[in-house]
Each structure stands twice: as C-alpha cells, then as structure tokens.
Amino acid sequence: MNRTIRFLIATLVLTTLPASAQEKTAVLEEGKKLYDAKCAVCHSHRYIEMQPRRSRDYYEKFWPAEITKMMNAYGAPEMSQEEVKKLAEYLTHFKAGN
Amino acid sequence: MGRVSSVSRRDVLRTLSLGGAAAALAGGGVLTRPQRAQAAETITPYDIYRKYFDPKPLFTVSGKKPLLMVTDRPPNLETPLKYLTTQITPNDVFFLRGRLLDPTNVDATAFRLKVAGEVTTELSLSLHDLKTQFEQVNLMAVNQCSGNSLAFLDPPASIGWPLGHGFMGCAVWTGVRVRDLLKKAGIKGSARDVVFRGMDRPVFQKGPIYEKALPTPNIHPRLDVDQTLNPDILLAYEMNGEPVPHWNGYPLRLVIPAVYGTYWVKWVESLTVLPNVYDGFWQRGYAYTVPTRLIPPGGPAPVSIMVPISTFNVKSVITSPDDSATLRVNEPIEIKGVAFDGGVGIKEVHVSFDGGQNWHEARLGRDMGKYAWRLWTYPFPPRQAGKYTVMARAVNLRGESQPMDPAWMPQGYMYNAVDAINLYVA
C-alpha cells in the first residue's frame, strides 16, 4: 500500500475514533439521565440488565417500541423523538451484541 | 485434512454416553443409528436459558424467604425448584408477580368488599361478614403465571424476562364462592359480565388500573356471567391455613382454578356486574392474549387473531435434581417432578433417558383433586459414568400431552414443552 495513503488512514483513525467515542459517551450519559427521570419511577435498572443477549439490530427496533408503549399505554412522561432516540441508545448498549 | 465425518467429536461423545445411559437403564440393547442421531440433538430448556440469560440472584421481600430475582422493583420473584417438590408450596416461598404499586398498610378491619353494578342490592362486606355470612370453601389449586417458563423459548419472547419454571405453586385456598356473593346481591337480567378490581394502582394516573373479567370462551360463546357462577371460583382470605400474604393479595384474592394467574386478581376491592362483555386494558391487544393459530418462532402475531388467555395446558416439570447436577455411579436417586393441566386431571407421566426414543411410566403421587398438581417420581440408578439427558412429559385424562418444541408466542405465554435436564454421572 502507498505510504501516503497509509499515513492518511492512520491520521483519520486517530482523529475520528476518540471523537466518535466521546460523542457516544455523551449520548449514553444523556440516555442515563433520561432513564433516571422517565423510567426509574416504575422500573429498577435490572429491567434493562436482565434482558437477553440479542443483536444490536433487534434492540434498536425493540427499545423505541417499548418506550412508545410506555408513554401511550401506561402514561409514562412524554419525550421528544430525539430523547426517545437517546434513551433507546442507552438501553440498547447493555445487552446488544453485533 | 481430509473430510472425516460431518458429525463432530462432541456429538459422537454425547451420543455414546446417551446410548450407554439408555442401555444401562433399560437393560436393553444399544440404540440404532437413527435413534442415536436424534438423541444427540437433545437441547434442554436450560441450554436455551444459558444461551440468552445469566443466573438470577436471590432477593428478599417481607414475609418471604430469599427467592430468585426476576425483577426487584416492582418485585417479581420466582420460586426455586427445590421448593416445588412437595404437594403444597409454602407461603413464604410462593412466587410473586408485581406489576403496579401494591397497596400498603391495608387495614383489615376497615376493609370492605363492594359488590355493585347490575345487581338488585349493592353489597359492602367486611372480612368478618365474608367469614360468617357465607359458606367457607377449601380448594387445593395450582396458580401459574401466564408467562411461566418463558425464558426457555428460542428466540426469546419479547418481554425478555429470565423466567424459569418457578412462577407456579400449589396451595390450599380458603374463602367464599363468588357465586354466593352474586346470589346474595341478586343478579339482574341485564347482567352480562363481572369485572374484578384490585387495590394496586398505576404509578401514573393515566395508567390502567388492574381489572379482570373471565375470558370469553371463543368456541362456544355464552354469557360470561354464567362462567363467574362456577362454584369453584373463590375469593380467598386464607392460603395454606394462614391469611393470604401481602405479596399474594392480602386481604382478599381471586382464585380461578385451572385458569392462568393473570385472572387471580390480588387485593380485590370490588366486583362489578356489567351489562356488557368486559373488554378492558389487561385483556385486549397484546395484554394477556394468545394467538388463535400457531406462529413461527420469532414471528409476529397480528392483533386481529389475539384472544384472552384462558385455561392451563398440560405441563410437567422436573423439579429434582437440578439441571447439570453431578451424580455418582451406583448411587440411585429419584427423579422428581410435578404435573398438572386445566382441570381435567393427569393420567400418566412418562420419563425418557434417550432423547425421547423410549418412555418409562413414572409413579404418580396421590390425586389431590383436579386443580392440584400431581407429584411424580422415577427411580434412577446411574450404572455408568457419562452425561444423561432426562425428559418428562405428562398426559391428561383427555389424552392431551405436551409438544417436543414449545408453541412460540410473542409474549411467551403458555409454555408447556416436554421438560428436560442434563445429569452428569462421575
């Protein structure tokens, strides 16, 4: 492989990875706050941790549907679409594989 | 390396040990090749559990021994199998299903049960009234949650709970007949249904209060109020000779034998006779409803085919020894279990040691009535070292039995596949 391309890839990896990791951490922190504020009144954290080991794809569909059900059927506090997304990301990262 | 065989070494070892087990046990010949191939594929419910879930920690709430924690808040605690080897499940280990906020500090002297709606005279009855004005009835019956054993489904049910076989128990319930209460109140001609309400409350006012009416039989429709007049339906204030524990519905819980636990409303405060068929939150949509046709594993069920869950199917559970227990050669043990159905009665329980090729009849315990479970045992003298898979299935008096693979339901209800455990003899 061309040296210049290798250098460019290395630079790209070094500069983008930490940034996206930080971004991910920020989303999870916001998601945790949403869990504390909107879910924890009824459900202990074990409700997330006990879920089965399944694919990320499965949980990315599962959690937004669950959150919507909680708001519509059980009167859970309303959340914006953006908040639902962040909360779902937080809930997903516990048990989702690849 | 050249192709040796499509069967892995592990499969061969498993097959040999199973063949050995069968020969040692039945004293008969060696299994034929197709039988071996099939035996090698036996996957136990516990293998499926371990694929998806971790072991449950113990958790204690007031009035209970440490039980298996499905969830801690609200508490959903499962009875360990070691407590399910007796005819009666003690109150302090009986499973509990928490859903909404449980009523705290119920004052038993101030408590009044209301009978209202389409009746000639509305009633307000104290516990003392119930115990003195009506006939007292004792009934031994299994209570089982709709979702019992759901963690043994592959893929897992959508609720995602690590729930084994311990959301069931058998107890003696003492109370009054719902029929007698309704007769005293006088049912009007306009009556169609009866709804029971619990004192537990949703966290948010918008949330649904816990109420249930008996499921409408979808094959032979009839007035639902007639079902509620079944003399075996009780409002119980005692469980195993003691006041019903708080977590099981103190001071009064509904007992509908042979019907899933969702209808056994806890902390009952009222029964209301309705001029229409009840269609509340907890028995429509996907809440405690089951599909009217088989769904492929993992598949969705259209809401249009969902009907309220109803009576138990035939079920047997191996309660001792635990899965993966280690035994010693020539030290005989007894395989123990329980079997029950939806009020018809258990006829036989069969046990297999070779992946379901040969079945041996287990010894049944005393018949304690059609709603109680039947204990069963089978002697097991392990004569050779190796891995053994033990399977159990029950057959009822109507000839109904259990499937080898469970019927898949999105919410994991009504699991009743043939049970199986692995044993290791050293």
**Does the beta-carbon distance from B162 to A52 stay under 8 Å?**
yes
The predicted-structure confidence for A3-39, as pLDDT tens digits, reads as follows: 677 666 666 555 555 668 888 899 899 999 999 999 9
Partner residue opposite B160 with nearest CB, options A42, A51, A76: A51
CB contact under 8 A, A53 and B51: yes
| Structural domains of chain A, ranges and CATH numbers in brackets | 3-95 (1.10.760.10)
> What is the pLDDT at residue B20?
38
- Residue B34 above 60 pLDDT? no
Q: What is the pLDDT at residue B214? A: 85
* SS3 annotation, chain B: CCCCCCCCHHHHHHHHHHHHHHHHHHCCCCCCHHHHHHHCCCCCHHHHHHHHCCCCCEECCCCCCCEEEEEECCEEEECCHHHCCCCCCCHHHCCEECCCECCCCCCCCCCCEEEEECECCCEEECHHHHHHHCCCEEEEEEEECCCCCHHHCCCCCCCCCCCCCCCEEEEEEEEEEHHHHHHHHCECCCCCEEEEEECCECCCCCCCCCEEECCCCCCCCCCHHHHHCCCCCEEEEEECCEECCHHHCCCCEEECCCECHHHCCCCEEEEEEECCCCCCHHHCCCCCEEECCCECCCCCCCHHHEEECCECCCEEEEEECCCCEEECCCCCEEEEEEEECCCCCEEEEEEECCCCCCCEECEECCCCCCCCCEEEEEEECCCCCEEEEEEEEEEECCCCCCCCCCCECCCCCCCCCCEEEEEEEC
Per-residue pLDDT of B156-183, as tens digits, reads: 999 999 999 999 999 999 999 999 999 9
Q: Comparing B190 with B244, which gets the higher pLDDT?
A: B244
Note the pLDDT of residue B415.
98
pLDDT digits (tens, 9 = 90+) for B263-303: 999 999 999 999 988 989 999 999 999 999 999 999 999 99
- Cβ distance of B71 and A44 shorter than 8 Å: yes
Question: In this prediction, what percent of chain B has a pLDDT beyond 70?
Answer: 88
- In three-state secondary structure terms, A70 is helix
Mind listing the pLDDT tens digit for each residue in A46-58? 999 999 999 999 9
Domains belonging to chain B, first-starting first, are: 58-308 (3.90.420.10), 312-425 (2.60.40.650)
User: Of A45, A46, A91, which to mutate for an interface test with B (greatest number of B Cβ within 10 Å)?
Assistant: A46
Q: pLDDT tens digit string along B109-131?
A: 999 999 999 999 999 999 999 99
Q: pTM higher than 0.90, yes or no? A: no
Interchain pair B281, A76: CB under 8 A: no
Which of the two residues, B102 and A23, has the higher pLDDT score?
B102
What does the pLDDT average to over B353-382?
96
Render pLDDT for B70-96 as a digit per residue (tens, 0 to 9).
Answer: 999 999 999 999 999 999 999 999 999
- Whether the CB of B281 is below 8 Å from some CB of chain A: the reply is yes
Nearest-Cα residue of chain B relative to residue A76: B204
Q: What percent of chain B has pLDDT over 90?
A: 83
